[in-house]
Amino acid sequence: MRTPARIWSVVGFLILLHFGLHLSLGLGESAPDLLVVALLIAAREVNIGRGAGLGFFLGLLDDAFSVLAFGANAFALTLVGMGGARTRDLFVGDSLLFLGSYLMLGKWMRDFLHWVAVGSDLRESFVETMLIQSPVSAAYAGLIGLIVIAISGLGWETIR
Amino acid sequence: MPIYKSDTNGSRGFPGAFIAVGVFVLSVITLFLPDASQDEVASLLRGSLLRPFVLAQEGLVRRSIHAEDTEVLQRRLDSLEVVIANSNTLAEENTTLRSLLLLSNRIPAQYVAASVMRPGTPGSESMFMLDVGTERGVTDDSPVIMGQGLLGRVLEAQATSATAMDWTHPQFRASAMTVDGTVYGMVRAAPGRFREADRLLLNGVPFHQELGPGVTLVTSGLGGLYPRGIRIGVVIEESGSQEGWQRSYWLRPFVSPGEATHVNVLVGEEGEFRDANSWSEGGPQVQGPGAAPQELAPGTSDTEATTPR
């Protein structure tokens, strides 16, 4: 059953796990982007303002170690949080197809917005970054997100 | 327990939309904040909310270093002993020549050993953290050296930790010269198609001076950031791009940032090491992880830790 405690516990756990894997263990790209998964799950539960606020906060945490483009993660996750909250008005449903697409598109959009925000000096080629690397990491994050949703029993009946 | 219903007051309501626009504007402002303000915010987050994760990584890195194969460590020790043994005659000659020229003894450069931690978050590819800080003498811009090559420099030093960048950072610059000091130029990072393909580019070499493949480049000491004599890389080939009457060369760095787990940070009084004539002749002195900063009286030397050449 979806309860506020369960949803926010899962979101909090994903955030802690993200920094545990990326920062404490230093896994880098080997670990999935659980921050965006947590944000996308949370964004479906709150209004657009709170979605943006949560995205900005999580983005700032990710930016704390960015000397190349500080603020790029905050910018990207703010917009992803806003978009995630907005999907409640556009899409109603919890099918496997929808959730998988939602998580993967959210991650791809986060990478795209980050790619835009880092500036031309640091930007790598669009084809390699957005058409090769990002879809793979989006599929990775989407798969992990679906597994987390299914295991945690957040109420998406079609998955369980 | 009642069935949970999410916040369905509408995502487009006036307060929510107003807040969202405000946060979006804030995120854009964050993107264009001055570097100093960005550093302050980042430093605050690293030292507060993210501190437990950083401490966990420090502990794990220390454990992994301690668990390193003793045979590998023994081989490194043997290699160092050979280098020291071969340097004894050189040191004696150096001392004799200095006394003939009435030159005083060189003050040895001092280092602190540090462990490298990588954040692994987006945008942090060219930076790393060190588990030493101002309490051990590390300052902003202290050079970071690994093995016999330049890895990068400290960006910001806190009390017990420091943030540093490696040579793949787009803003990395180092004044370089050939070992014999005949050719000078400026080295900068040249990003490859992938991060693993990053290499260095030597610019500003006069057109009439040519460098062949395999020529070693070291820091020249010009600019006051890096002391003279730290090895940077070897020439691979001439770059296709020429600017006016200048040549450019691709360099293969001696140090690969991905391999950096344990480094040495050059420390000293404010600007002291930068005034040194040569890093390689300075007799580097490395302090162990647990050692307190030491001050050597002029003319004294610790034969176990100092390797005069």
The residue ranges of every structural domain in chain A are: 4-152
**Interface with chain A: mutation pick from B12, B24, B25, B121, highest number of A CBs within 10 Å:** B121
Of A160, A121, A74, the C-alpha closest to B25 is A74
Distance of CA B35 to CAs A28, B32, B39, Å?
25, 9, 6
Other CB atoms within 10 Å distance of the CB of residue B44: 13
Give contacts of B11 with chain A, Cβ < 8 Å.
47-48, 51, 85-86, 88-89
Q: What's the number of domains chain B is made of?
A: 2
Size of interface A-B (CB pairs under 8 A): 193
Model pTM score: 0.72
Whether B24 is in a domain gets the answer no
- B189 DSSP β-pair partners: B200
Q: Mark whether B195 and B292 lie in a shared domain.
A: yes
Whether B210 is in a domain gets the answer yes
Residue A27: half-sphere exposure toward Cβ, Cα within 13 Å = 12
Q: Is the pLDDT of residue B43 over 90?
A: no
Which of A1, A45, A64 is closest, CB to CB, to B7?
A45
| Residue B293 belongs to domain with CATH number | 2.40.10.350
Of A71, A50, A48, the C-alpha closest to A8 is A50
Q: Mark whether B101 and B115 lie in a shared domain.
A: no
| Helix (H/G/I), strand (E/B), else coil: A122 | coil
Whether B7 is in a domain gets the answer no
Give contacts of A31 with chain B, Cβ < 8 Å.
120
Q: Mark whether B165 and B257 lie in a shared domain.
A: yes
Low-confidence ranges of chain A (pLDDT < 70): 1, 155-160
Q: Which of B84, B105, B126 is the last residue of a domain?
A: B105
Q: Report how far residue B56's alpha carbon sits from residue A23's, in angstroms, rounded to the nearest whole number.
A: 9
Q: B16, A125: Cβ pair inside 8 Å?
A: no
Q: Report how far residue B190's alpha carbon sits from residue B170's, in angstroms, rounded to the nearest whole number.
A: 8
Give B202's contacts (C-beta < 8 A, 6+ positions apart): B176, B185, B186, B187, B211, B217, B235, B248, B249, B250, B251
Q: Which of B66, B85, B105 is the last residue of a domain?
A: B105
Q: At what angle do helices A134-152 and A34-43 cross, to 10 degrees?
A: 60
Q: Mark whether B79 and B165 lie in a shared domain.
A: no
Q: A50, B30: Cβ pair inside 8 Å?
A: no
Give contacts of A70 with chain B, Cβ < 8 Å.
30-31, 33, 38, 41-42, 123
**Interface with chain A: mutation pick from B29, B60, B124, highest number of A CBs within 10 Å:** B124
Cβ contact A80:A39 at 8 Å? yes
Whether B50 is in a domain gets the answer no
The predicted pLDDT at position B297 comes to: 38
Q: Is the pLDDT of residue B302 over 50?
A: no
Q: Report how far residue B265's alpha carbon sits from residue B133's, in angstroms, rounded to the nearest whole number.
A: 10
Cβ contact B211:B235 at 8 Å? yes
Q: Mark whether B130 and B263 lie in a shared domain.
A: yes
Q: Which of B105, B126, B152 is the last residue of a domain?
A: B105
- B249 DSSP β-pair partners: B202, B238
Q: Give one word for B262, left, alpha or beta, with left for phi > 0 and alpha for psi -120 to 50.
A: beta
The predicted pLDDT at position B72 comes to: 77
What letter does residue B309 receive in the DSSP assignment? -
Q: Mark whether B188 and B91 lie in a shared domain.
A: no
Whether B130 is in a domain gets the answer yes
Full residue range of the structural domain in which residue B91 is found: 74-105
Q: Mark whether B280 and B180 lie in a shared domain.
A: yes
Q: Is the pLDDT of residue B172 over 60?
A: yes
Q: B17, A59: Cβ pair inside 8 Å?
A: no
The predicted pLDDT at position A91 comes to: 78
Q: Mark whether B155 and B275 lie in a shared domain.
A: yes
The predicted pLDDT at position B303 comes to: 33
Q: Mark whether B242 and B123 lie in a shared domain.
A: yes
Q: For a pLDDT cut of 70, what percent of chain B falls above it?
A: 77
Q: Report how far residue B185's alpha carbon sits from residue B204's, in angstroms, rounded to the nearest whole number.
A: 5
Residue B115: its H or E element:
strand B110-117
